[in-house]
Amino acid sequence: MSASDSAVSDVPVITVDGPGGSGKGTITTRLANHLGWHFLDSGALYRLTALAVMKNQVPLEDENSLGEVAANLDIRFDTSGSDVISWLDGENVSDSLRFEETGVLASKIAVIAVVRSALTERQRRFRQPPGLVADGRDMGTVIFPDAKLKIFLTASAQIRAERRYKQLKEKGESVNLARLFREIQARDLRDQSRSVAPLRPAEDAVIIDSTGLSIDEVFNKIVSLI
């Protein structure tokens, strides 16, 4: 191990994994602000890869080209107040990044091993002093197995569909709750049953079910664990 490796592994990491709609994004951002630490939204990397795949019209069967797209992503994140602006090839893609179809395509390419390995180093580079809060599916199991605190945040599929419905409605997207519920279940199944880095709690993770809890209650629970 080099001197710089040991310096990086000294930087503390808190991982927050779990299915979409469990409140991870909100909690992770709040936690990072509270601690003054960096923040990694790993789902955004899979979503940006999905947008690049759409843009380059790469067929899903062509795994090598998908891996190349992931390895050569030209992306940047800017923070403006509480908003994060995401850039792909110099274009602001913050809106299309959050479209439901982008998330669905992201979960389809996330099952491909070459895509995951192409994004691994990029995610680890977010580990910078004074610390990192990382949000995803495999942060505690694969990307930062040595994290100091690992949270697995979950909630029932019904409540997650309702939260997502509200979010999309507020953004003016036309949505159907029953369809969202089915998509969430299909996405959960894909994330949990893939052979590489499936969605599951790390053995040393603290599992929090946010179904009956407010964001404040979940936040306070995690702060009490730090």
Instruction: Give contact residues for ligand C5P (rule: CB under 6 A).
Output: 20, 42-43, 46-47, 103, 106-107, 110, 136-138, 187, 191
Query: CB-wise, 4 or 79, nearer to ligand C5P?
Result: 79
Sequence-ordered alpha helix ranges (H) in the chain: 3-9, 24-35, 42-55, 63-71, 94-97, 100-109, 113-124, 157-170, 177-193, 215-225
Query: CB-wise, 7 or 207, nearer to ligand C5P?
Result: 207
**Which residue number is nearest to ligand C5P in terms of Cβ?**
43
Q: Write down the least CB distance from residue 43 to ligand C5P, Å.
A: 2
Query: CB-wise, 186 or 226, nearer to ligand C5P?
Result: 186
Query: CB-wise, 12 or 18, nearer to ligand C5P?
Result: 18
To which H or E segment does residue 198 belong?
none
Q: Write down the least CB distance from residue 221 to ligand C5P, Å.
A: 21
Q: Write down the least CB distance from residue 191 to ligand C5P, Å.
A: 5
Q: Using CA atoms, how far apart are residues 174 and 154, in angstroms rounded to an integer? A: 26
For the record, the structure tokens of 11 come out as 């930087």
Q: Write down the least CB distance from residue 120 to ligand C5P, Å.
A: 10
Query: CB-wise, 99 or 219, nearer to ligand C5P?
Result: 99
Query: CB-wise, 7 or 204, nearer to ligand C5P?
Result: 204
Is-contact 73 49, C-beta < 8 A? yes
Q: Which of 225, 165, 192 is nearest to 14 (CA)?
A: 225
Is-contact 7 138, C-beta < 8 A? no
Q: Write down the least CB distance from residue 44 to ligand C5P, Å.
A: 6
Tokens 């569909």 locate to 161
Q: Write down the least CB distance from residue 136 to ligand C5P, Å.
A: 3
3-state helix, strand, coil in the chain (%, to 5): 50, 15, 30
